[in-house]
Structure 1
Amino acid sequence: MTVPTEETPFAGVLAGAVELLRGLPRTRDGVAAARRAAELWRADHPDVRAQLVADVRPGSPVVDYDLVLGHPAGGTVALTAPADDGVPWTVDHSTHWASGRVLTVDGRELLIQNALLTLRARAERDPSVQEELVDHCVLEDLIAREPEPTREELQEASDAYRLRRGLHTRERMLRWLGEVGLTQEAYDNHIHGLALKRRVRARIERETGRDYLERYPEEFDQVWAVWAAGSAERLAGLAASGEPLAALGAAVLSRGDDLDVTAAVRVARELPEPLRDAAAGAAVGPVSYGAGHLFGVIRERRPADPADPATLAAAGRAGFAAFMAARRAAAEITWHWL
């Protein structure tokens, strides 16, 4: 080991970084403690901008780490200290026979490079894809500081996950695991993280909801609206009728109609954007919306009720979205493929 001197201060940092890596816990439930240890070490060495990278292997309790350091002369240095077989996890994964593949269909392989190019093309059309990836990283950082989930939290997370996918029986669940290539252990690990994310999200919603409602009460007006999505020509016919609301009602009852009609009572911010600020009795559109056009009528609009549980729940969702937007804006993000 190089002894740090005044001439080689970075060598001393490297020596300390190696000792840090070698002392980190290597089990999945020790990741939070590892991150805390790395944060303390980073605070003592701010000039190297240390970043800990955890490799939490799907379906395995084993965790490995890299530590990325900024070099005084520019660029970065990555350190790894595998605990068992001496093979860095980056090399171990790169030499796996399927490391470059995402899936194979009828013998045709989809390489990770092509999959990521497809994701990039989609992200150009829908920036929310990139936001979801950043949000995933932000939430992973938040849950690393959380205590282990309770049995009840794990069960609730699993139930919600299965119900969203229609996996109501054990047989359907096992068939789905086979279709997506997940082992039961890998599924349990996913639910472990999902339970913690649900906990963090619920807490942030409680902490931010009422304040968000007080600052933006107009976003939570209770609005009764009816709207239709479809072709501009078809919607223009509804708008031109003397009774657009009646015309929308007739469209609901018309079989084989080419319109998608919705009638709902929602808080204003959760309506389609063109309808959110419209007054009671107003007809809006047809206007471009999404991939088509929209026409709608506001039947009734009432001021937000701060005591209404549904309104508070909506305000919590809005507060969480604002919290995540702020975290994305403040984050240091590097896109390695996109």
Structure 2
Amino acid sequence: MTSTFDAALTEAVDLLRILPRRRDDVPEARRAVAKWRETRPATRAQLVADVRPGSPVVDYDLVLAHPDGGSVALTAPADDGVPWTVDHSTHWASGRVVTVDDFALLIQNALLTLRTRAERDTTIQDELIDYCILSDMASREPPPTQQELQQASDAYRIRNGLRSRADMMRWLAGVGLNETAYTSHIFGLALKQRVRARIEQETARDYLERNPAEFDQLWALWAEGSEDRLAELAGAPDPATALTQALASRDGITVTTADGPALDLPEPLRAAPEGTVVGPVPHGKAHLLGVVRERRPADPADPGTLAAAGRAGFAEYMARRRAKANVTWHWL
């Protein structure tokens, strides 16, 4: 039995050394291992792939069942000679997400917390899936131009209030990144922004033609608060005037006025005709009472309208991709 296993080990090492190391070739590597496993079924061989962040290079482990029980893991690193399990998993902080006042948050607890929050807000899950979909699409793009990199970096710094190099260095230290990691992040961000811009441009007009009412320009006023208080306002002779007065008094409710595309307004108001009083209706954690004071048809030639339609088209496109994606959550 030992000599048979020794022979299998030798073959496994040789197999590991010839497996393709590119990210796109992982399926081919798995097929090669599956074919070899058919000749050595007792090994129950399993290939473990490590896709390096920001790199097209992949490392592998090959796990074999030992005839006397347990398993044996073989590693054949491609470049620096350091097994990826050592490089990524045996660091003293490898299982930690953050340490606060000497208290370490482990990855298992962080994932459980994320799962609990996601049960209340599925957008967290959607954002993670979207990130994976966009990252996969971006990986097939040509490298970003210097202009794209600069635009991505400028937008990112402005969005995070990083107006100077000193601000940038303090921010990097605060989030535990170095300049190399930031550059790698901006590289990927520039490609994802390119993909998103292309999809928005391709979908804008079609989405607008199918959903013109979403981009009508609405002047509306609405209040959010308790159902009883909003019912009082709705029962006034002129609810619009009552809401306007409430806007000044802030009488235990939140009052908002806006003039913009219907899609940007609360959902109960988006399809309401001009002059319509809507509510009180449940909205979020409270109730909503609103009045559409004016409604103007969408202008297909308006750049702002097309941009909004592109954003909506992109959201629709990503929703379709999420629905078709094969998603596996690796939560402990």
Which residue of the partner structure matches residue 115 of structure 2?
120
Give the TM-score normalised by the residue count of structure 1.
Answer: 0.79
Superposition deviation, residue 236 in structure 1: 2.4
The answer to whether the 8 Å contact 1:64/1:82 transfers is: no
Q: Distance in 2 between matches of 1:98 and 1:51?
A: 22
Aligned-partner SS, 1:168: coil
Partner residue of 2:265 out of 265, 271, 283: 271
Which structure 1 residue ranges, 4+ long, deviate > 6 Å from structure 2? 12-17, 42-45
Secondary structure of 2:52's counterpart equals strand
Deviation, 1:328, is 0.8
Which structure is larger by alpha-carbon Rg, 1 or 2? 2
CA contact 1:56–1:63 (8 Å) conserved in 2? no
Shift of 1:92: 2.8
Distance 2:325 2:12 in 1: 25
Taking a change above 3 Å as real, the CA distance of residues 238 and 118 of structure 1, as seen in their structure-2 partners, is same
Q: Which runs of 5+ in 2 are unaligned?
A: 1-10, 36-46, 63-72
The AA in structure 2 aligned to 1:298 is V
* Preserved CA contact (<8 Å) 2:13 2:76: no
Q: Does 1:19 align with 2:13?
A: no
Whether 1:54 and 2:48 are equivalent positions in the alignment is no
| Counterpart pick for 1:312 among 306, 310, 313 | 306
Cα distance, 1:180 vs. partner?
Answer: 1.2
Residue aligning to 1:246: 241
Hey, what does 1:173 align to over in structure 2? Answer: 168
Are the equivalent residues in 1 in contact too, given 2:61–2:76 (CA < 8 A)? Answer: no
Alpha-carbon offset, residue 14 of structure 1: 11
Residue deviations 1:216-250, cap 9 Å, x none? 22222222211122232332232222222222222
Q: 1:35 to 1:111 in 2, by over 3 A?
A: closer
Q: Secondary structure at the match of 1:287?
A: strand
Matches within 5 A, 1:99-248: 99-248=94-243
Gaps of 5+ in 1: 1-11, 25-33, 69-77
Compute the displacement of 1:262 (Å): 2.0
Residue number in structure 2 paired with 1:323 = 317
Equivalenced residues, count:
303
After TM superposition, give the deviation of residue 137 of structure 1 in Å: 0.5
Q: State the distance in 2 between where 1:247 and 1:163 align.
A: 40
Q: How far apart, CA to CA, are the structure 2 residues paired with 1:326 and 1:13?
A: 41
Partner Cα separation in structure 2 for residue 85 and residue 250 of structure 1? 71
Q: Between 240-249 and 325-334, report the one with greater CA deviation.
A: 240-249
Q: Provide the rounded CA distance (Å) in 2 between the counterparts of 1:306 and 1:265.
A: 18
One of 323, 328, 332 as aligned partner of 2:326: 332
Instruction: Quote the residue 1:297 is aligned against.
Output: 291
After superposition, the CA RMSD in angstroms is 3.2
Structure-to-structure mapping, 1:87-102, within 5 angstroms? 87-102=82-97
Distance, in Å, in 2 between the alignment partners of 1:42 and 1:173 is: 41
- List per-residue Cα deviations over 1:273-332 (Å, max 9, x = no partner): 111111111111122111222211111112222111111111101111111111111111
Structure 2 length-normalised TM: 0.80
